[in-house]
Structure 1
Amino acid sequence: MSVLDVQGLRVSYETRSGRRDVVHGVDLAIGEGEVVALVGESGSGKSTTAHALIGLLPEGGRVEGGSISLGGVDISGWGPKRLRSIRGAQVGLIPQDPVSSLDPVRPIGVQVGEILRLHGVRDRAEVRGRVLELLERVGLDDPGLRARQYPHELSGGMRQRVLIATAIALRPRLIIADEPTSALDATVQRRILDLIDDLRREEGTAVLLVTHDLGVAADRAQRIVVLNQGRVVEQGSAAGILSSPSDPYTRQLLADAPALATGDFRRPAPPLFLRDAAAAAAENPFAIVAEGLVKEFTVQGRGQGPFRAVDDVSFQVRRGTTHALVGESGSGKTTTARLVTRFLDPDAGRIELDGVEVAGLKRDGLRQLRRRIQLVYQNPFSSLDPRQSIAQIVAEPLHNFAEGTRASRRARAAALLDRVALPADVLERSPRELSGGQRQRVAIARALAINPDIVVLDEAVSALDVTVQARILELLESLQQELGLTYLFISHDLAVVRRISHTVSVMRRGRIVETRSTEDLFLTPTHEYTRELLAAVPGRSEVAA
């Protein structure tokens, strides 16, 4: 008997123009101890499907038809009260975002214990003992301390473990894991997925793994269900779908998944500016030279010395190439990028851009530096002013430097949008009317407005689905070839770095532990930490096979 059997599930949402169907007749089943991955892009209906199973659709959402059988019992007609009785007890949910899922003003132990109290455990000592047992079970050190702490005092990986502890508290038959690791570094992601896998094996729990990452699905699922625009386009064994997908959409997802990429490594093209041997000897080949960079921050609290976020960092980037800085959160890579762009002043060290020392620039010098180096941020939702039109956003650097007339700036904005493959009709739209991928294209267009030589991309594709991510990476490659741009690419995702970069520096705790060509780094890493990062890339086993 299946733990979960879904037949013909249909879901709609209330919109301004009336109800709109978003899930169209989804069928899926999960057996005891089995992991089934529900895969698709944002908007494909995968999270809506998962939440509909246990009555957690947002306001305006409604199940229109189909059957949902949990352990042989049809629960599709149950009301909110009856569904609450099975949430936690028979079905556990691990949500995507631990920041919004945990109450910031209540200790962790209270929040984990709440699920026990809601399901009838009244003895305070029993609740506390079970909470400590659960926190230890999910791998948190010093459970007594963690139980007293608040969410902001824990790392992202620790907070996700707290959510897992809550989900498994009552030993449910099914766990729904909704993008449980999408915001985590690769090594933390692997530990969280290993934990879920251990619990599945030990308890026989079934897992519905909702993910946009086919690398994760390849590593963790026995079967895969592919959703596109609310419809199942393909489902079957993970091995079968990965080796011979039948639907064009699945084939595109596989082609775009950076963790499953098997193409050649990027190698720099011969620089166009080197016309002869004499020119080659005289020309400085490096667009960026960083030597001995140091940055410290004051830490609040008595007896605390300064925190050294960047510690003697040095690297060089050849013109017209992409150099990646990679590492986990807190490794110092974003701080290094902000030093190079002079949004932060280094405490020590030097920075050269095209042979010009910029570490000591002030006022007018810094202003002119902005012409040569531009920054594209991680989050296209927060980096664009919602009060401005797209035309105003793209032309803003031209306005800031008093270049051209209003008409010429608008014409330049239109030309830039065309260059990043956006239609002209987005000029008058606002950012909220665009998708995440379209917003990131706007951010890239804005960065190119004043013809910079260097673009720093700080986690610029990490918030995007794999198909949108692939198109943005293709765009960056084509722009580099056309314009001779130099990229400093900041990322925690080695699979993406493999796809886009020519050279890589690996950072850990503020220091660079290894700098190599991308090909050499992936094929023959020399540092233990680099090998650990590579081993954590999801889907690597499939690539190796």
Structure 2
Amino acid sequence: MTVLEVDGLRVSYAAPRHGRREVVHDVSFGVGDGEVLAVVGESGSGKSTTAHALVGLLPEGGRVDAGAVRLEGLDIAGWGPRRLRSVRGAHVGLVPQDPGASLDPVRPIGVQVAEILRVHGARDRRTNTARVLELLERVGLDDPALRARQYPHELSGGMRQRVLIAIAVALRPRLIIADEPTSALDATVQRRILDLLDDLRREEGTSVLLVTHDLGVAADRAQRIVVLKDGSIVEQGETAALLADPRDPYTRQLLADAPALASTLVRPKAPLYLRDAAAASAENPFAVVARGLVKEFATRGREPFRAVDDVSFRVRRGTTHALVGESGSGKTTTARLITRFLHPDAGSIELDGVDVAGLKGDALRRLRRSIQLVYQNPFSSLDPRQSIARIVGEPLQNFRDGSTRERRARVAELIDRVALPGDVLTRTPRELSGGQRQRVAIARALAIRPDVVVLDEAVSALDVTVQARILELLESLQSELGLTYLFISHDLAVVRRISHTVSVMQRGRIMEEGATEDIFRSPAHPYTRELLAAVPGRSEVAA
């Protein structure tokens, strides 16, 4: 039986001065009873627009122009907002991408879960309270009574996503639309959320429309895959057959760009210290040496929280060393210690043999010339009011590096080096895509010719195709300029692609470290094995 049938769907948005612009073109697919169908594509492919159009949740200016949306045989495509509200929740549950934006920050969790019950006619407060606690327990939240009283900011990202799933399944709908439900989560949390959706599907017979940019997730979880590009379906079919023999060039590109699914995994080029024997025999071959780093944070009414606990590692010049672990493992705090945006409570940090842990004032400012940081979110780290030329040139201005003419030439050179067109210099960050903004952030970090670049989750917010291009850029820059990278990530598939050595962190401590391939092929610590087991699509490719 087909739970959802989409036939010839066309969606458009109002376009100022240009009437309307069609963004979804003649899309047709079906979701069977108890089936998981994945809709896959990069940003701008139309996958989220398609999902939202099915239940009347298009943003302002969006409109379904043609096509049928049959839910258990009933065409709801022409229904107005009021009639569609009776469908949402009761017949179709939606799990949105961003729990931070989807939950009301000023209302307790229990109130928000109970609202879906109340809207659909359940008025008895005692019955609703019992059902809320049952749902919170069902989605795996510990101490449901406590969680029901808490606010969203008091829960982790994975816990907030579980709350959204509880809301989506509260009325036992026949279909769940999961729109990038795990894209912002660590691999182990991602696996638990997807396992939860699988459990609910098996127990309730619910069908799932899974919207994702990650072919690895689709490979693990879906029986069939629909591939969207520029609002059109380029290919669809059974998962195993589609992955084994993709017919469309775009599908093949998505497959090649997914780190865990690539048939021939790209390994980092031999590091500079292996290609140059002189560097290996130098007096100090290490660009970064951390010894016994400790960082604690005060907590009200409790003992200080130790975020980094006796962390030590070394990074050879011209290589990439990765710090991996879940959120809360201490990897980002360690990165901020290395870049001296935080002061360590104990331990030493050597850059090119000089201990910088105690630097202050002008000496600390001068340190910025040798080490730079690239953040996860390029939009929040780039001033939206400034032009790209000013953003990239700001470090040169701050350090009074060269004349105005020389700085302008350096900025143009950097923009060219990160493979952006020269006309971006006059634009602002708002006018660029996520991948373009991250290239600008990298260009800015390179402006004053640092020796070490720290990349803090620098590709985790990007689609796999854009991510692959940024990784290629980082590798080429390292090869050309002899850069040393400290790469912070929760994504082990990406780490395997780009790093030469790796340290695995948990609760502020290093659990295991070594050459990347050794860690992947023969992990010694149970936590490392758990992280590796959670990599989406890992079962599809031999280690």
Deviation at 1:495, TM superposition (A): 0.7
Q: Which piece of structure 1 moves more, 290-299 or 148-157?
A: 148-157
Q: Does 1:314 align with 2:312?
A: yes
Question: Is the Cα–Cα contact under 8 Å of residues 272 and 317 in structure 2 kept in the other structure?
Answer: no
Q: Does 1:434 align with 2:432?
A: yes
Cα displacement string for residues 186-213 of structure 1 (whole angstroms, at most 9, x for unaligned residues): 1010000000000101111000000000
Match of 1:358 in 2: 356
| Equivalent AA in structure 1 for residue 513 of structure 2 | T
- Structure 1 residues 29 and 355: alpha-carbon distance in aligned structure 2, compared to 1, 3 A threshold: same
Matches of 1:367 and 1:273, distance apart in 2? 33
Task: Output aligned runs, 1:221-260, within 5 Å.
Answer: 221-260=222-261
Q: Does 1:512 align with 2:513?
A: no
Match of 1:123 in 2: 124
Matches of 1:174 and 1:87, distance apart in 2? 10
Cα displacement string for residues 318-346 of structure 1 (whole angstroms, at most 9, x for unaligned residues): 00000000000010001000110111110
Task: Output aligned runs, 1:299-338, within 5 Å.
Answer: 299-300=299-300, 302=301, 304-338=302-336
Aligned residues: 541
Matches of 2:56 and 2:269, distance apart in 1? 51
Match of 1:536 in 2: 534
| Equivalent AA in structure 2 for residue 127 of structure 1 | N
Q: Does 1:157 align with 2:147?
A: no
- Structure 1 residues 144 and 118: alpha-carbon distance in aligned structure 2, compared to 1, 3 A threshold: same
Task: Output aligned runs, 1:400-415, within 5 Å.
Answer: 400-415=398-413
Question: Is the Cα–Cα contact under 8 Å of residues 268 and 475 in structure 2 kept in the other structure?
Answer: no
Deviation at 1:265, TM superposition (A): 3.5
- Unaligned residue ranges in structure 1 (runs of 5+): none
- Unaligned residue ranges in structure 2 (runs of 5+): none
Question: Is the Cα–Cα contact under 8 Å of residues 273 and 280 in structure 2 kept in the other structure?
Answer: no
Match of 1:298 in 2: 298
Cα displacement string for residues 231-276 of structure 1 (whole angstroms, at most 9, x for unaligned residues): 0000000111111000000000000011213425336335389565
Task: Give secondary structure in 2 for the equivalent of 1:451.
Answer: coil
Matches of 1:120 and 1:272, distance apart in 2? 69
| 2:273 paired residue among 271, 286, 296 | 271
Match of 2:471 in 1: 473
Cα displacement string for residues 483-503 of structure 1 (whole angstroms, at most 9, x for unaligned residues): 000000000110110101000
Matches of 2:338 and 2:315, distance apart in 1? 12
| Equivalent AA in structure 2 for residue 191 of structure 1 | R
Q: Which piece of structure 1 moves more, 47-56 or 385-394?
A: 385-394
| Equivalent AA in structure 2 for residue 226 of structure 1 | V
Matches of 1:224 and 1:62, distance apart in 2? 25
Match of 1:46 in 2: 47
Deviation at 1:281, TM superposition (A): 4.1
Task: Give secondary structure in 2 for the equivalent of 1:170.
Answer: coil
Matches of 1:49 and 1:498, distance apart in 2? 34
| Equivalent AA in structure 2 for residue 183 of structure 1 | A
Task: Give secondary structure in 2 for the equivalent of 1:415.
Answer: helix
Matches of 1:477 and 1:280, distance apart in 2? 20
Question: Is the Cα–Cα contact under 8 Å of residues 225 and 234 in structure 1 kept in the other structure?
Answer: yes
Runs of 4+ in 1 over 6 A off after TM superposition: none
Match of 1:527 in 2: 525
Deviation at 1:114, TM superposition (A): 0.7
Q: Does 1:166 align with 2:164?
A: no
| Equivalent AA in structure 1 for residue 480 of structure 2 | E
Match of 1:2 in 2: 2
Matches of 1:264 and 1:42, distance apart in 2? 24
Matches of 1:129 and 1:294, distance apart in 2? 45
Matches of 2:385 and 2:333, distance apart in 1? 29
| Equivalent AA in structure 2 for residue 179 of structure 1 | E
Task: Give secondary structure in 2 for the equivalent of 1:331.
Answer: coil
TM-score where L is the length of structure 2: 0.98
Task: Give secondary structure in 1 for the equivalent of 2:171.
Answer: coil
Deviation at 1:426, TM superposition (A): 0.8
Deviation at 1:360, TM superposition (A): 1.2
Question: Is the Cα–Cα contact under 8 Å of residues 41 and 47 in structure 2 kept in the other structure?
Answer: yes
Deviation at 1:362, TM superposition (A): 1.4
Match of 1:210 in 2: 211
Question: Is the Cα–Cα contact under 8 Å of residues 288 and 354 in structure 1 kept in the other structure?
Answer: yes
Cα displacement string for residues 102-121 of structure 1 (whole angstroms, at most 9, x for unaligned residues): 11111111111111111111
Question: Is the Cα–Cα contact under 8 Å of residues 272 and 482 in structure 2 kept in the other structure?
Answer: no
- Structure 1 residues 356 and 64: alpha-carbon distance in aligned structure 2, compared to 1, 3 A threshold: same
Task: Give secondary structure in 2 for the equivalent of 1:382.
Answer: helix
Task: Give secondary structure in 2 for the equivalent of 1:210.
Answer: strand
Match of 1:285 in 2: 285
Task: Output aligned runs, 1:161-200, within 5 Å.
Answer: 161-200=162-201
Question: Is the Cα–Cα contact under 8 Å of residues 325 and 333 in structure 1 kept in the other structure?
Answer: yes
Cα displacement string for residues 262-304 of structure 1 (whole angstroms, at most 9, x for unaligned residues): 425336335389565xx7544211000000000000012x2x0
Question: Is the Cα–Cα contact under 8 Å of residues 265 and 518 in structure 1 kept in the other structure?
Answer: no
Matches of 1:20 and 1:270, distance apart in 2? 50
Q: Which piece of structure 1 moves more, 256-265 or 425-434?
A: 256-265
Q: Does 1:388 align with 2:389?
A: no
| 2:497 paired residue among 475, 499, 508 | 499
| Equivalent AA in structure 2 for residue 433 of structure 1 | E
Matches of 1:51 and 1:135, distance apart in 2? 25
| Equivalent AA in structure 1 for residue 216 of structure 2 | G
TM-score where L is the length of structure 1: 0.98
Match of 1:488 in 2: 486
Q: Does 1:460 align with 2:458?
A: yes
| Equivalent AA in structure 2 for residue 218 of structure 1 | A
Cα displacement string for residues 435-473 of structure 1 (whole angstroms, at most 9, x for unaligned residues): 100010011011111111100000000111100000000
Matches of 2:501 and 2:271, distance apart in 1? 13
- Structure 1 residues 139 and 324: alpha-carbon distance in aligned structure 2, compared to 1, 3 A threshold: same
Question: Is the Cα–Cα contact under 8 Å of residues 327 and 506 in structure 1 kept in the other structure?
Answer: yes
Question: Identity of aligned pairs, percent?
Answer: 79
Task: Give secondary structure in 2 for the equivalent of 1:366.
Answer: helix
Question: Is the Cα–Cα contact under 8 Å of residues 271 and 500 in structure 2 kept in the other structure?
Answer: no
Q: Does 1:64 align with 2:62?
A: no
Matches of 1:142 and 1:269, distance apart in 2? 49
Deviation at 1:407, TM superposition (A): 1.6
Cα displacement string for residues 115-160 of structure 1 (whole angstroms, at most 9, x for unaligned residues): 1111111111111111111111111111111111111111111111
Cα displacement string for residues 408-444 of structure 1 (whole angstroms, at most 9, x for unaligned residues): 1111100111000001111111111111000100110
- Structure 1 residues 65 and 484: alpha-carbon distance in aligned structure 2, compared to 1, 3 A threshold: same
User: RMSD of the TM alignment (CA)?
Assistant: 1.2
Task: Give secondary structure in 2 for the equivalent of 1:27.
Answer: strand
Matches of 1:84 and 1:341, distance apart in 2? 51
Q: Which piece of structure 1 moves more, 219-228 or 15-24?
A: 15-24
| Equivalent AA in structure 2 for residue 480 of structure 1 | Q
Match of 2:447 in 1: 449
Deviation at 1:386, TM superposition (A): 1.1
Deviation at 1:38, TM superposition (A): 0.4
Q: Which piece of structure 1 moves more, 15-24 or 35-44?
A: 15-24
